[in-house]
Amino acid sequence: MGDKLGVKEYRLALRENKLQGLKCKACGFVTAPPRLACRHCGATDSEIVQLSGKGKIATFTSIFIPPESHRGQTPYLVVVVELAEGPWIMGNIQGADPNKATLDLIGKSVHMDNNLIPDDKKPPEDISPMFVLDS
Amino acid sequence: MRKVAVVGVGQTVFSGAQSRSNTELFSEAAMEALNEANLKNKDVQALLVGTVLTDFEECQQIANTYISENLGLPHVPTNTYDGACASSSVAIIDAFIWIASGMYDIVLVGGMEKVASMGTHLATQTYTMYADRYYDYPSGITFPGMFAMLANLYAKKYNIPIEILKEQMALISVKAHKFGALNPKAHLQRELTVEKVFRSPMVCQPLNVYDCCPFSDGGAAIVMTSEDIARKLTDKPVFITGFGQASAGTFVSQQEYLPHFITRQISSAKAYKMAGIKPLDIDVCELHDSFSISEILAVEGLGFFDYGTGGAASARGETIHGGKVVINPSGGLKAKGHPVGATGAAQVYEIFRQLRGESGATQVDNARIGLTDAMGASGNINCNIVLERGW
């Protein structure tokens, strides 16, 4: 069943710089973030797969007015990355200036590197994929 | 299935933070609607309320029951609907089904919110709770942030320089405020300039403060009933002739369709089919302009303009009187305000007034068919309602 990759397992993997998804046993489509049903065909039999964490920026924004959870951290970039395996993932990016972000960012190649966040800075629960521009 | 009519509408003045409770806001709108419908509280058989944040706003849950008591409704069934910004639209669609089925004859429907009373930081935080808690929220994305990402995606996809898109978006805010200045119930009754939009603080690139609707307090309510009762109550019943509703999940799960929304596509197609109309049969439309980019996405998604051309069409004046279709003559969410739960009912309030020819300075000549479009969160929910003159 698809729910073997739950929120807890997904986050624990992210903390170890691993991005996981679910590959549908019926149609082969990769669903990430994990969902019980395949996003493409709706089948509920899937297996956990390791994703490359590589992809291209699909879109982005720089946040200047944050929610309470991110006060004091502005401005910061939020990106949506189209992974090499297909799915879009929301996360953050380091190495790009949120004050100077332009549409040129879209299409740029990135890879995930959650090791960039020191362990003592990682919140106990909430963790988001951190991407870096490919050099 | 019975035909269903709207026979009375009410709306408070939408505003910034104010002292009245959610129960009082809804009740004011409800009394206006009941009085217009020539009905008494004892006539109401059910109360359906769209609201989403009464807990954060005033430490109140099940406000709908206190509204029922306050209004003296005779122990009627009452439900609360959380469809984010589309909450009272969801409630109206449900009321339609209740009445069409023959189970209920007269239903009071609407919504209210005290978003402004929460203040900007708490309001921003609560809106963020409408993103997926585990897979979107940790990135620090905000509600305007989602639409900012759509604006950037839109500019890239349709090859529109961001400076041009920003000007088109600013002109949409200018138009909204022009209409809002003529609406005595609007939150922001003052005109705006493109320069002022550009000079306002950046919320999330490329959206400035004046690209975003305000946090508002307010309430709106309508009275819905069956055709036979409607014809006894008024010479001018407004019929709901079509509706559609659809849902989707995370922002990223909609990747195939973004920057447009599959939920709007499904919902509006259902509404048009049920009413037997085409998009350009519509004379006046109140749509979900939570942000300036939202209106561009909506006028295209609803079929008024081709994808990638909505901003230019608006800039040409195609969405005001004398254009193809009049969009948001109330001022929309942008200028009329956006007390979340009230918004869907407030859209019906405006269309009802337009179809009856009671809209004063913003009246659309001989308006016969109107549409509402309400979106919950970022494409998570979409509701469309077609309203037509019943005389």
Nearest to B142 among A65, A88, A92 (CB): A65
Q: Which residues contact B322 (CB under 8 A, 6 or more apart)?
A: none
| pLDDT value of position A71 | 87
Residue-wise burial string across B322-345, b where 16 or more C-beta atoms lie within 10 A, e elsewhere: eebbbbbbbbbbbbbbbbbbbbbb
- Where are chain B's structural domains? 4-119+215-233
Residue A2 scores a pLDDT above 50: no
- Measured CA distances, B8 to B154, B334, B370, B389 (Å): 39, 25, 16, 13
Q: Which parts of B133-237 are beta strand (E)?
A: 202-204, 207-208, 217-226
Phi, psi of B47 (to 5 degrees): -125, 115
Tens digits of per-residue pLDDT, A71-104? 899 999 999 999 999 999 999 999 999 999 999 9
Burial of B181 (0-12, 13-18, 19+ CB in 10 A): middle
Burial of A43 (0-12, 13-18, 19+ CB in 10 A): middle
For residue B61, the tally of other CB atoms under 10 A from its CB is: 11
Q: What is the mean pLDDT of chain A?
A: 91
Enumerate the residues of chain B whose CB falls inside 8 A of the CB of residue A59. Answer: 149-150, 152-153, 156, 258
Among B316, B334, B311, smallest CA distance to B165 is for: B311
Phi, psi of B33 (to 5 degrees): -65, -45
Nearest to B204 among A65, A71, A91 (CB): A65
| pLDDT value of position B169 | 98
Nearest-Cα distance to chain B for A118, in Å, is 16
| pLDDT value of position A122 | 65
Q: Residue B175 gets which letter from DSSP?
A: H
* Coil, helix or strand at residue B60: coil
Enumerate the residues of chain A whose CB falls inside 8 A of the CB of residue B140. Answer: 63, 66-67, 69-70, 73, 76, 78, 92, 128
| pLDDT value of position A3 | 54
What CATH architecture does domain B4-119+215-233 belong to? 3-Layer(aba) Sandwich (3.40)
Residue of B nearest to A123 (CA): B138
A123 falls in which pLDDT band (50, 70, 90)?
low
d(CA A43, CA B183): 51
Nearest-Cα distance to chain B for A88, in Å, is 5
Question: How many cross-chain Cβ pairs, A to B, lie less than 8 Å apart?
Answer: 113
Among B159, B169, B171, B208, smallest CA distance to B307 is for: B159
| pLDDT value of position A1 | 46
Enumerate the residues of chain A whose CB falls inside 8 A of the CB of residue B138. Answer: 123, 126-128
A135 falls in which pLDDT band (50, 70, 90)?
confident
Ranges under pLDDT 70 in chain B? none
Enumerate the residues of chain B whose CB falls inside 8 A of the CB of residue A89. Answer: 252
Asked whether the beta carbons of residue B203 and residue A64 sit closer than 8 angstroms, the reply is: yes
Residue A24 scores a pLDDT above 70: yes
- What sections of B1-86 are H helices per DSSP? 22-36, 54-58, 63-71
Interface with A, mutate which of B141, B142, B158, B293 (most A CBs under 10 A): B141
Q: Which residues contact A38 (CB under 8 A, 6 or more apart)?
A: A2, A22, A24, A26, A27, A29, A31, A44, A46
